[in-house]
Amino acid sequence: MSDFHLHAQVNENIWFDGLYRSYFVRDALDKSIANDTISAKNTSNGYNLLDLNTHVNPVKNIEVFAQLRINNSFGSFFGSGTEINVRQLKAKGTVSDKVRFSVGDLFLKQSKFTLYNYDEELSGYENDMLKPYRDIIHYENFYTENRWRLHGIQTDFSFKFDRFIRSLSFDFFVTRPRGSNQINETTYSSDLLLSGGSMVSEINKRLTFSGNHINLFEVASSGTLNISVRNPVHDMSLQHHFGNDKYRIEQKLQTGFSQRYWLHSELENGRADSTSNNTQGM
């Protein structure tokens, strides 16, 4: 197995980078296993893979990013095993040098109680011999800094102050993990959306207050079912730290509230909406 990173620039508005990987594996059974007449005694497979990243700046403060994957399996005949796919697509930029936005593939993370992609179990006890395989799994599944890869729109902005507090930052996003699907000839499931926001306030050099909100919900009007799920989660924390060049001590006070229920639309019957299976927790 071998990996190479590539980088090239055509002009100030267009540049390329990417990753190339060549992977080959061979599996063989011990000759002492004579009673196995089904499994192959010796198999091998592999592939050549190129992820080509294209960065384009059509106008100032706007970047369009696309990742094109070219995958060729070993043993294919005259390119018949070659696949070309668009792996990532995103546009990002700033508005008036104050508000940043991203549309397309997003990598999102909040607190561990709201939106957080945890590491796999026992990952901290693996031998370094398995690190190349673990890196491939993380790369292929977009496991980056405990973030979730989602599709949607995101925006963030911040303010700085000269009194009372030092700074105030906001981040908002809306994504669609699942679109409407046809269940049968007359029934369609609703769109499933995931929206949320974060706020971080640096009160002084040692004290920081933050809050997170996230809600997983279905849009009943996008389907034919009158029942839709709601799952809002709120989280707040106050963090204090002090120290010097030799040590650092952090103290964190955190609380939150979560709720899950099903909303029954009674619009056709002319009645108020009702809920069921309401579950709450702190």
Q: Which of 52, 73, 97 lies at the terminal end of a domain, its last residue?
A: 97
Residues 92 and 232 in one domain: no
Separation between Cα atoms, residue 194 and residue 174, nearest integer Å: 6
Nearest to 152 by CA among 173, 175, 172, 171: 175
Q: What residues contact residue 215 under an 8 Å CB cut-off, 6+ apart? A: 194, 195, 196, 230, 231, 232, 233
Residues 31 and 111 in one domain: no
* Residue 69 host element (H or E): strand 62-73
Structural domains in the chain (count): 2
Mapped onto helix, strand or coil, the DSSP state of residue 276 is: strand
Q: Are the beta carbons of 28 and 8 closer than 8 angstroms? A: no
Q: What is the pLDDT of residue 86?
A: 95
Count other Cβ atoms within 10 Å, centred on residue 245.
5
Half-sphere exposure of 274 (CA within 13 A, CB side): 7
Residues 153 and 120 in one domain: yes
Residues 113 and 233 in one domain: yes
pTM (predicted TM-score): 0.84
Residues 39 and 117 in one domain: no
Residues 122 and 86 in one domain: no
Q: Determine the Cα angle at 155 with ends 65 and 232, to 5°.
A: 120
Residues 136 and 229 in one domain: yes
Residues 143 and 274 in one domain: yes
Residues 150 and 221 in one domain: yes
| Residues present in the chain in total | 282
Q: Are the beta carbons of 52 and 67 closer than 8 angstroms? A: yes
Residues 75 and 203 in one domain: no
Q: What is the pLDDT of residue 239?
A: 95
Q: What is the pLDDT of residue 280?
A: 82
Q: Which of 97, 128, 162 lies at the terminal end of a domain, its last residue?
A: 97
Q: Which of 97, 123, 139 lies at the terminal end of a domain, its last residue?
A: 97
Residues 120 and 162 in one domain: yes
The whole domain housing 4 covers 1-97
Q: Are the beta carbons of 123 and 130 closer than 8 angstroms? A: no
Tens place of pLDDT per residue across the chain (282 aa):
666 666 666 677 899 999 999 988 888 777 666 677 777 778 888 888 999 999 999 988 999 999 999 998 887 666 677 889 999 999 999 998 899 999 999 999 999 999 999 988 766 677 788 888 888 989 999 999 999 999 999 999 999 998 889 999 999 999 999 988 888 888 888 899 999 999 999 999 899 999 999 999 998 888 887 888 999 999 999 999 988 888 889 999 999 999 999 988 776 666 777 778 888 886
Separation between Cα atoms, residue 236 and residue 282, nearest integer Å: 11
Residue written as tokens 């009158």? Answer: 226
List 168's β-bridge partners, or say none: 159, 201
Nearest to 51 by CA among 102, 3, 106: 3
Separation between Cα atoms, residue 39 and residue 27, nearest integer Å: 11
Separation between Cα atoms, residue 64 and residue 92, nearest integer Å: 7
Residues 15 and 145 in one domain: no
List 123's β-bridge partners, or say none: none
